[in-house]
Amino acid sequence: MYAIIRTGGKQYQVAPGARVRVEKLAGEIGETVELNDVLLVADGDNVTIGQPVVAGAKVTARIVEQDRDKKILVFKKKRRKGYRRMQGHRQAFTGLEVQQISA
């Protein structure tokens, strides 16, 4: 069994027991969150596709991590003009462990 969920403007394929990193969600480590934007649920040969979401479907997950990703560097330069800019960015994320998919 697996599901396609939408959170943080991105789509993820999840299954019970799987761990996934999503855009930052509010909550502490150990708390349970319910994701209601379920786009598809597949259980064996039974596939339910939402239009746009599957009615009544939800994914229950536990927060296992609240952290920030590795730093990426953004460097801008214009040749022969002495223009140089360096900027760093660390994106916040939430690590989820999927516990249950209910359709």
**pLDDT tens-place string over residues 5-35:** 999 999 999 999 999 999 999 999 999 999 9
* Position 47, amino acid: V
Its pTM stands at 0.87
Number of domains making up the chain: 1
Q: Other CB atoms closer than 10 Å to residue 14's CB: what's the count?
A: 22
Which residue range(s) make up the domain with 27?
2-102
**CA dist., res. 55 & res. 66, Å (int):** 29
Largest interatomic CA distance in the chain: 62
